[in-house]
Amino acid sequence: MAKQLADLHNRLIDYLREGKFAEGIEDFYAEDVAAQETGKPPVVGRQALAAAEREFLQKVTEYHGIEVLASAIDDQGNGNGTVLYEAVMRWQQSDKGAVTVEQVVVERWKDGKVQNIRFYGNFDPS
């Protein structure tokens, strides 16, 4: 059965809605994925990303969810293509208080896994 890109992406967003960030990386990202936040150098590798996410999540005291405002999908078949979406996420963070992140995300998928992901917005993970 062919992998529908919309279904894969929506499953990943469901993980984010549930606050399962590291699990989403482990289940949906390619082993050699490259991820890049606005103005930061890319982080390469699923294990490195999942570890960094777990470390960051230690600072999150409350998670208030993600709202996807718009999305566009270029499904090239068999889990390949590009997804662009605009989202707002909110949480409480021990060292920053209330955080609201507004961003546009570009996911490039290959063989049913996120191969490259870029975040454009107001979030600074440092």
pLDDT in tens, 34-74: 999 988 999 999 999 999 999 999 999 999 999 999 999 99
Does residue 80 lie in a domain region? yes
Q: What strand order describes the sheet that includes 60-77?
A: 43-44, 29-37, 113-121, 97-110, 80-93, 60-77
Does residue 110 lie in a domain region? yes
Q: Which structural domain, as residue segments, surrounds residue 93?
A: 5-121
Please give the Cα distance from 48 to 51 (Å, whole number): 5
The secondary element (H helix, E strand) that includes residue 10 is helix 5-17
DSSP 4: P
pLDDT for residue 2 is more than 60: no
Q: What is the mean pLDDT of residues 3-27?
A: 95
Please give the Cα distance from 1 to 52 (Å, whole number): 34
Please give the Cα distance from 34 to 86 (Å, whole number): 20
Does residue 57 lie in a domain region? yes
Q: What is the mean pLDDT of residues 2-20?
A: 93
Does residue 35 lie in a domain region? yes
Does residue 42 lie in a domain region? yes
What tens digit of pLDDT does each residue of 69-111 get?
A: 999 999 999 999 999 999 999 999 999 999 999 999 999 999 9
Backbone angles phi, psi at 107, to 5 degrees: -110, 125
Please give the Cα distance from 106 to 37 (Å, whole number): 11
Does residue 89 lie in a domain region? yes
Looking up residue 75, the CATH number of its domain turns out to be 3.10.450.50
- How many domains would you assign to the chain? 1
Does residue 95 lie in a domain region? yes
Does residue 126 lie in a domain region? no
> Which two structure tokens, joined as six digits, stand for 53?
């996410």
pTM: 0.92
